[in-house]
């Protein structure tokens, strides 16, 4: 974030919940930051609208400033929009020969990325790789790929001048089949602008080669054009992923967000240099920090997150010791359970909880059940969640109708909450040991 931005954020002093005014002021600056990072305008607008809605009314954690709180919310939303924290760089490899097709505008880095992927597939995945250039328009393009193949130590399809791209694709598949290659990477021709002939040719090649991965390679510095490029390629080709090149440059990489937003495709890799080892697995957190233009954002956000967790835990502990474990807390626990991979996950981590686990399994506590329980709790009013004693028969009927379940389901949730509250009370007194006793007995 720019200095100006930081000062705006430091100026937000409201306490309690984030106000509409504070959020709006901050969002104006976030908007500028995103545009400066070259995120496309329509994507910026959508993003701001979404985050604004999320942020207004959000409780401000005591130990961080409202500005930090908003930055955390913005950062988390960016990470989410970029594909979440655990993005998967693995390429789909079908029964050999599996085809990877590279598409993109001329100069975007297709040929270079082809070499880098070949190196990765060979060294990391131990695959036998064949490279084939379908770039019939630039005389030097085929030689460029052959040279790269030599540097990586993989084979490239012998060059026959004057063949059509589609014929080269067929020949590559044939050769791969006969010679037992695991993966064929087809490096296609690009043009400097989007044009019909290029698209038609690429489409034709995709039909013939039936690729298991079709990667759109795009220059991270393309900025506002990224949206149009991504849209057009995505309309014509069965794209499966994105590669953003020149992330080693000065650009802030806003194109990553734009392209991901319009295609919904995963960003798989980032090109970070001209050399063959200049290929990084995409990491949403890193790119989010870069788009916001703040190297320290990750540590800042982590700190904020830790403090939020700590405060939540503290609040819960206080409530527990007072025997005030309400239905909101119960819902929060259900969410935590889901985060930790369902009950199997959390129970599995606790020694001696076998009995409880069996009991829970008997109660059929899988993810679907947890979701339903959450739905039931969210059909209650705020007052009811805070004071479950209010829940008489008619209220229970109303809630059941709201959540689309039978009243007995509502009763079950309330009973579970009761049990958990009792358990929490013991735990509040006796710590871990208390909890174990509660669970075991
Ligand atoms: P193509 O036309 O799409 O095949 O693009 P090329 O692979 O030939 O790349 C065009 C130029 O961009 C070459 O000079 C590459 O060395 C350079 N290039 C490709 N990827 C990267 C990257 O990640 N970082 C940098 N700095 N340069 C790159
Ligand atoms: Mg090329």
pLDDT at 8: 58
The domains of the chain, with CATH numbers, are 3-85 (1.20.120.140), 98-282 (3.40.50.300), 322-440 (1.10.260.30)
Query: Does the annotation place 113 within a ligand binding site?
Result: no
Q: Which runs of consecutive H residues, i.e. helices, occur in 210-283?
A: 226-236, 254-263
**Probe residue for ligand 1, chosen from 271, 274, 282 as the CB with the greatest number of ligand atoms within 8 Å:** 274
State the complex-level ipTM: 0.99
- What are the per-10-residue average pLDDT scores of the chain (441 residues)? 55 68 86 89 94 83 75 89 80 91 94 97 96 91 95 96 94 96 94 82 95 96 86 94 92 90 94 95 89 65 68 71 79 68 43 46 64 90 90 94 93 88 67 47 35
Residues facing residue 260 across a β-bridge: none
Ligand 1 geometric centre to CA of 265 (Å): 22
Within 6 A (CB) of ligand 1 lie 104, 106-112, 190, 245-246, 248-249, 271-274, 278
pLDDT number for residue 75: 87
Task: Give the 3-state secondary structure of residue 76.
Answer: helix
What is the pTM for the complete model shown? 0.70
112 known ligand binder? no
Torsion sign, CA atoms 315, 319, 321, 327: negative
Residue 107 Cα to ligand 1 middle (Å): 6
- What is the edge-to-edge ordering of all strands in the sheet holding 98-103? 155-156, 129-133, 183-187, 98-103, 213-219, 241-245, 267-271, 279-281
Dist CA 230 CA 233 (whole Å): 5
């Amino acid at each position: 974030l720019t200095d100006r931005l930081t000062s705006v954020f430091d100026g937000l002093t409201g306490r309690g919940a984030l106000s509409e005014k504070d959020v709006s002021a901050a969002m104006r600056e976030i908007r500028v930051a995103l545009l400066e990072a070259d995120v496309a305008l329509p994507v910026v607008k959508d993003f701001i609208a979404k985050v604004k809605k999320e942020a207004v009314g959000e409780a401000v954690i005591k130990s961080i400033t409202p500005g930090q709180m908003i930055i955390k919310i913005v950062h988390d939303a960016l990470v989410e929009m970029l594909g979440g924290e655990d993005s998967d760089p693995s390429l789909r490899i079908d029964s050999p020969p599996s085809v990877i097709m590279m598409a993109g505008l001329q100069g975007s880095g297709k040929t270079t990325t082809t070499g880098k992927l070949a190196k990765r597939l060979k060294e990391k995945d131990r695959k036998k790789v064949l490279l084939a250039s379908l770039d019939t328009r630039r005389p030097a393009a085929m030689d460029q790929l052959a040279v790269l193949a030599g540097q990586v130590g993989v084979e490239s399809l012998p060059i026959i001048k004057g063949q059509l791209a589609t014929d080269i694709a067929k020949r590559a598949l044939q050769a791969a089949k006969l010679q037992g290659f695991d993966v064929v990477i087809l490096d296609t021709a690009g043009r400097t602008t989007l044009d019909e002939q290029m698209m038609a040719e690429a489409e034709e090649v995709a039909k013939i080669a039936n690729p298991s991965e079709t990667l759109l390679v795009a220059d991270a510095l393309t900025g506002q054009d990224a949206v149009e490029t991504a849209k057009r390629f995505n309309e014509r080709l069965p794209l499966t992923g994105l590669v953003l090149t020149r992330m080693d440059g000065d650009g802030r990489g806003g194109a990553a967000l734009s392209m991901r937003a319009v295609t919904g495709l995963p960003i798989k890799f980032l090109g970070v240099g001209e050399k063959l080892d200049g290929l990084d697995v995409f990491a949403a957190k890193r790119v989010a920090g870069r788009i916001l233009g703040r190297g320290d954002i990750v540590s800042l956000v982590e700190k904020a997150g830790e403090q939020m967790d700590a405060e939540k835990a503290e609040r819960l502990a206080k409530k527990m010791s007072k025997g005030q474990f309400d239905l909101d807390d119960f819902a929060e626990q259900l969410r935590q359970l889901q985060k930790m991979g369902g009950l199997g996950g959390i129970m599995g981590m606790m020694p001696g909880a076998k009995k409880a686990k069996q009991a829970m399994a008997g109660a059929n506590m899988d993810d679907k059940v947890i979701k339903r329980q959450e739905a039931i709790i969210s059909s209650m009013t705020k007052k009811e969640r805070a004071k479950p004693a209010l829940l008489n028969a008619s209220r229970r009927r109303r809630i059941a109708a709201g959540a689309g379940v039978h009243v007995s389901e509502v009763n079950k949730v309330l009973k579970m909450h009761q049990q958990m509250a009792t358990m929490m009370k013991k735990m509040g007194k006796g710590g871990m040991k208390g909890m174990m006793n509660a669970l075991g007995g």
